[in-house]
Chains A and B, each alone.
Chain A
Amino acid sequence: MTATAGTTAGTTATTARPSTRARTSPRPDMPAYARLDLRRQLRDRIGMFFVVGLPTFMYLVFGIGSDDPVGTGNVAMYVMISMAAYGAVTATTSVAGSAATEQVMGWGRQLGLTPMRPVAFVATKAAVAMSVAAVPVVAIFAIGAATGARGDWSDWVLSGALVWLGSALFAVYGLAVCLVLRGSNAAGIASGMIVVLAFLGNVFTPMSGFMLDLGRFTPLYGYVALARFPLTDGWLPVGGRDPLWLPIANVLAWTVIFGLVALWGVRRSRART
């Protein structure tokens, strides 16, 4: 029986003890860990519904067939960028948020007993978050390309890159929220709040008047305005124009704010143990 053979082999292997045996420090195989973690994230059906399913659905409802011109392209293109941004941000928020929650809930202690360095863990999680974020961007841009979204080739490339790379800011946001709230549902709260911030940030429906003035100060506004800038050159659907410095200032300000909150959260969680 093969199972028995395996057992015997294992037992003899461990007999080569005790501490006289030379110890080589083994190297952590981070790509293998990243692959397993990525697969776990992608197979979470509910999570992936909010990351890919919902924004795709909203693009199909609001974007398809809208051929009215916007900047160098059309409305379909404008909606496509917005929804891809929403999907990407939901992805980074939930991956980073769940990473923080995993740490707090005890998986971190399990990882603490391996030779892996914390910085390697952060890098791996960032890679996983950015991989998951790429899924809605690629999927929605592909659907957009197939269903009449129109713009200069540079709009496609620049917007895609800005949507994807900019979503990293919300990894910091997810981390910050989960470190401050702790608890097992913190990641859910963080990505739920993304929906609210998306409305305020002019992502879903064009806003005007007071709501627009207020929205300019919310974190998703700058990110999505920047991602749409190649297409719109700053012109808003309701009229008026944002100068380029406005979304950039918004993104920088929120990067600092989320970074500081996350840092404070890390300090606080360390102090407790």
Chain B
Amino acid sequence: MTPADVPAIRATGLRKAFRSTDGSPVVAVDDVDLTVHPGEIVAFLGPNGAGKTTTVDMLLGLTTPDAGTIEVYGTSPAQAVGQGRVSAVMQTGGLLNDFTVGETVRAIAALHGRSDRVEVVLDRARLTDLAGRRVEACSGGEQQRLKFALALLPDPDLVVLDEPTTGMDVGARQEFWRAMREDAALGRTIVFATHYLAEADEFAERTVLMNHGRIVHDAATTDVRAAYGGRTLTFRPPAEVVDADGIDADWLARVRGALEPLGVSDVDVSAASLEAAFLALTADTEPIGAAR
């Protein structure tokens, strides 16, 4: 029913100010223009207080902008939410502790009028085995997966994720993004806010950097990286020159000597990252909720 060229999100001149506790106004979002096309995967990056969550709230119709306009699939955010075209995993969205996982999904499914999708989303968020567990007994990562399941209930065209992997351990985080990638491949538009730079780096095609309520950079993720991050070349030394103390100093000196004529300087030796080590050491544990 909607022409393909209607953007998933079109925001112009968005502005939102709050009163802080001492009464002085704080501008959370300041003149933000943003267009996201259907099927895009966009990361919102920025330090705490950069205005990410406020922008997300306006996208979802939970907050009305002081100035500017925002359209989601050509309609108002509230209307898009009403039609089930947009949904979100919110940082501050709460769950009821005394519902079970299954009841939580059934309750929200009822409000969407989509009780038919309960089993599908439980399965997609790998919660089928946890359906009978009370929310208060779930770990932070499991609660986050539950919020993700709730977001999938209306079968939305646009999913907004605000710090979606908070509370997940490294394995659960990778598992979560794997599931998201599958969803994106099916054509969902995904916008997520995060402060894990690695997540944006790995997952988003486009990165929007926010600071002090303004968009300071908006480009393809690879361009953002190239413009500010430089590039890193890595290689693996032959096994015989590596021991527990590190790389053999003579060999390293020869590498430096060989690279110098090519204009390479600052050769640096670093160990594998802690994250990589953690993953390698815990890799044999089954991914959470894998087929049992």
Contacts and interface: CB of A to CB of B under 8 A. Distances in A.
Interface of A: 1, 3-4, 6-7, 9-11, 13-15, 17-23, 25-30, 32-33, 36-37, 39-40, 43-44, 102, 105-116, 273
7 contacts: A19-B8, A22-B1, A29-B115, A33-B107, A115-B83, A115-B111, A273-B57
Given A13-B120, A44-B98, A116-B111, A19 B60 contact: no
Given A22-B1, A273-B62, A111 B111 contact: yes
B23 to A, nearest CB: 13
B157 interface: yes
Nearest to B156: A113
Given A36-B106, A109-B90, A112-B62, A19 B186 contact: no
Given A10-B124, A116-B111, A110 B83 contact: no
B291 interface: yes
A105 B110 contact: no
A19 B110 contact: no
Contacts of B98: 40, 43-44
A29 B95 contact: no
Contacts of A14: 120, 155, 183, 186
A29 B124 contact: no
- In the A-B complex, the 6 residue pairs with the smallest Cβ-Cβ separation, listed nearest first, are A106-B94, A26-B113, A32-B110, A114-B111, A10-B120, A18-B187
Contact of B94 (A30, A39, A40, A109): A109
B198 to A, nearest CB: 27
B85 interface: yes
Nearest to A25: B83
A18 B2 CA distance: 10
B93 A26 contact: no
Nearest to A271: B19
B84 A36 contact: no
B186 A114 contact: no
A110 B108 contact: yes
B112 interface: yes
Contacts of B177: none
A30 B86 CA distance: 21
B99 A25 contact: no
Given A3-B128, A109-B94, A111-B111, A273 B84 contact: no
B157 A19 contact: yes
B150 interface: yes
A92 to B, nearest CB: 19
Given A19-B2, A32-B110, A113-B81, A107 B123 contact: no
A6 B119 contact: yes
A18 B87 CA distance: 15
A206 B57 CA distance: 54
B38 interface: yes
A23 B150 CA distance: 19
Contacts of B128: 3
Contacts of B99: 36, 40
B139 interface: no
B35 interface: no
A110 B123 contact: no
Contacts of A10: 119-120, 123-124
Contacts of A40: 96, 98-99, 103
Contacts of B90: 106, 109-110, 113
Contacts of B61: 112
A192 B99 CA distance: 24
A116 B150 CA distance: 15
B92 interface: yes
Contacts of B39: 18
A30 B110 contact: yes
B73 A17 contact: no
A20 B113 contact: no
Nearest to B92: A106
Contact of B2 (A20, A113, A115): A20
B82 interface: yes
Contacts of B155: 14
Given A40-B96, A110-B108, A23 B83 contact: yes
Nearest to B151: A113
B112 A115 contact: yes
B266 to A, nearest CB: 47
A180 to B, nearest CB: 18
B94 A32 contact: no
B114 interface: yes
A43 to B, nearest CB: 8
Nearest to A273: B63
B124 A115 contact: no
Nearest to B113: A26
B186 A17 contact: yes
B83 A107 contact: no
Contact of A15 (B4, B124, B186): B186
B113 A110 contact: no
A36 B82 contact: no
B123 A6 contact: yes
A28 B110 contact: yes
Interface in B112-149: 112-115, 119-120, 123-124, 128, 147
